[in-house]
A and B are shown apart, each in its own frame.
Chain A
Amino acid sequence: MLFLLFHIGGDRYVIDARKVLEVVPLVKLNNFSSAPDYIAGLCNYRGAPVPSIDMRYLIENVSSQPFMSTRILIVKYNAGGEGLDHLLGVIAENAIETIVLEESGFRQAAIQSSEQNYVSKIMTDARGIIQWIAVDQLVSSRDRDILYGSEVEMGE
């Protein structure tokens, strides 16, 4: 399976490459004032506003550095159930590599937090731990309505 690899601090994280639509440079974001802190802002992606999560902020409470290697991964986010894919930006530091890993090598993460369990599975190799970020779990159900609204509201 192909994964996109990025680093936060010294730790390695991967995202399923099939979830990634496009990797774009760290463009300027528009402020999204009512959003939770880990949302860095709205990215204008081909005319559509895409809420973008700062992964470093989510994990370390520090904003990502504006480096060339910091990129926005435009991913397909699906909260499950209603079937519609939303677009979500994932700001990831050191997103410069893809990596092929065996899906069977991953184990369930032992510690599951109840609120946001986006690290669903982990793998260990010679260099340490790789954590698999489940894109669909990145936004808590509480915040989902703030970012995307409920479909009914949008239509009215």
Chain B
Amino acid sequence: MNNSIENCWATIGVWSKGVEKCPKLKEVLHCRNCDVYSSAGRSLLKRKIPEDYRDYWTALLAKEGVIKSHDTLSIVVFRLGDEWLGLPAKTIKEISEMRPVHGIPNSKSNVVKGLVNVRGELKLWVSMGTLLSVDKGERYVFSELRKSFLERLVIISKDNEHYVFPVSEIIGTHRIWKDSIREVPATAANSMYSHLAGLFKLEERHVGLLDQDLLFSSLQRSLV
């Protein structure tokens, strides 16, 4: 193996300023796909180990490995007004773009807002915000355009019961360590907290994990 690195990528490759072009570029398109470039990169490893690096790894390797529990939960995390909430991914049937809601005449429930057409099936449109008494939100203020861009409809189902509710934003499915889920503070007494199974932190957000059984039974009760 030769020790001198010829930096052809800077002279005739993609990082060159001149007009000279390496003939291999036609084939590999970019220097990073070229074996000359990758072998030059690997040859950087052909240097003496710094003593402190060696000490660091010796100490690190001697430590007992931390065994984490491998129990995880897949949770879909969404925002409702000001609050970040999560539901187990298996309860979520579908997430779709916003659709028009059709009001139900003489409906007395303030949770049920109407009916929505999802692939030809009429489903109940409920307001999670009203059920959980979550404010519309002042913390996340977006323009109308941005807002409508982020809003989604979430379709949840359990034992052939389906509900549709709008959310302000969805940030996808996340896998959470079961033992990173904290208990809900006992002093928290509002309707949202009483529907939570736990709390966890996702990046900088505090996310409330909704108790799905409780949620469905509350929704059922709100129909009458």
Contacts and interface: CB of A to CB of B under 8 A. Distances in A.
Given A44-B62, A46-B63, A47-B62, A28 B45 contact: no
Contact of A26 (B44, B49, B62, B64): B49
Given A25-B57, A27-B57, A69 B45 contact: yes
Contacts of A96: 42, 45
B47 interface: yes
A43 interface: yes
Task: Output the residue of B48, B49, B57 with the most chain A CB within 10 A.
Answer: B49
A69 B54 contact: no
B55 interface: yes
B48 A66 contact: yes
B100 interface: no
Nearest to A66: B49
Contacts of A28: 54-55, 58
B142 interface: no
A109 B64 CA distance: 40
A28 B64 CA distance: 17
Given A25-B54, A28-B55, A69-B42, A45 B49 contact: no
B210 to A, nearest CB: 39
Interface string A16-56: 00000000111110000000000000011111000000000
A58 B214 CA distance: 66
A47 to B, nearest CB: 5
Interface residues of A, number: 18
Given A25-B54, A28-B55, A67 B46 contact: yes
Contacts of B55: 28
A149 B49 CA distance: 33
A24 B49 contact: no
B23 interface: no
A59 interface: no
A99 interface: no
Nearest to B55: A28
B61 A26 contact: no
A92 to B, nearest CB: 13
29 contacts: A25-B49, A25-B54, A25-B57, A27-B54, A27-B57, A27-B58, A28-B54, A28-B55, A28-B58, A43-B61, A44-B58, A44-B61, A45-B61, A45-B62, A46-B62, A46-B64, A47-B64, A66-B48, A67-B46, A67-B47, A67-B49, A68-B44, A68-B48, A68-B49, A69-B45, A94-B46, A96-B42, A96-B45, A97-B42
Interface of B: 42, 44-49, 53-55, 57-58, 61-65
Given A26-B49, A67-B49, A68-B45, 16 more contacts: A24-B61, A25-B54, A27-B58, A27-B61, A28-B55, A43-B61, A44-B62, A46-B62, A46-B64, A47-B62, A47-B63, A66-B49, A66-B54, A67-B45, A68-B49, A94-B46
